[in-house]
Amino acid sequence: MRTVCCLVLLAAMAATAASLPAQQRDYLTPEEVEQARETQEPNKRIELFLGFAELRLAAFEKALQPASEAERPRPWQLRDLLNDFIRAVDDTTDNVEKPLDHGGVELKKGRDKTKAKAADFLKRLEMIRSRTEVAEDEDLGYDLEDAVEAVGTLAEVAQAIPDGLLPAKTLPAMEAEKEEAQPAPGKPTLKRRTDKPKDKP
């Protein structure tokens, strides 16, 4: 079943890349977008986006092992697949942070699943780093570093979730925390690579 999903993702990636060369495509399928709309309970939503990330990483792993030379993806296609995984991980982090910020919910189930999945992701990414095609592609190497960093951030956010019900926060308290979280003026902030690869059409 996972193999079929990976093949569908690869086909969708190729089709959208041809039709939207100058626009960043949505990494979610229409069916997944609908699932996300319908799933609002925090723990279930976290699990849903972990599943999206799992599918993207599996598709990337499969693309690294083509059945034949004719099926070997272009370097930019590999980077697109890896960046789809990064975006799914970043969205998962957002879905952990939002209920954590608002409170009034118990996130232990989502926390435990996130920590386990993040550990699995990191292990697989480290194995990917040793592959020749990754070592020879500087851009892919940079994106892989971003992937490791994104998963690390997800694991850190999950680690901050306590046992039991999170106390609900009032709007003034949330605004105060938001102001405190703002970086100091002039302090550099991390921004992921957004430049377009040279070999991408």
Helix (H, G, I), strand (E, B) or coil at 66: coil
Query: Model pTM greater than 0.95?
Result: no
Q: Does 25 fall in a domain?
A: no
Q: Please give the pLDDT value at position 122.
A: 97
From first to last of its 201 residues, the chain has per-residue pLDDT tens of 555 455 555 555 544 444 444 456 789 999 999 999 999 999 999 999 999 999 999 999 999 987 777 788 888 899 999 999 999 999 999 999 999 888 889 999 999 999 999 999 999 999 998 876 777 788 898 999 999 999 999 999 999 998 888 888 754 444 555 555 444 444 444 445 555 555 655
Q: How far apart are CA 144 and CA 126, in angstroms?
A: 9
What DSSP string describes 30-48?
Answer: HHHHHHHHH--SHHHHHHH
Q: Does 26 fall in a domain?
A: no
Q: Does 194 fall in a domain?
A: no
Two tokens at 116?
Answer: 């386990």
Contact 188, 148 (CB under 8 A): no
Q: What is the count of structural domains for the chain?
A: 1
Two tokens at 109?
Answer: 């189930």
Q: Does 111 fall in a domain?
A: yes
Q: Does 182 fall in a domain?
A: no
User: Residue 142: in which H helix or E strand, if any?
Assistant: helix 138-159
Contacts of 98 (CB under 8 A, 6+ apart): 42
Q: Does 80 fall in a domain?
A: yes
Domain residue limits at 88: 2-17+42-173
Q: Does 189 fall in a domain?
A: no
Q: Does 62 fall in a domain?
A: yes
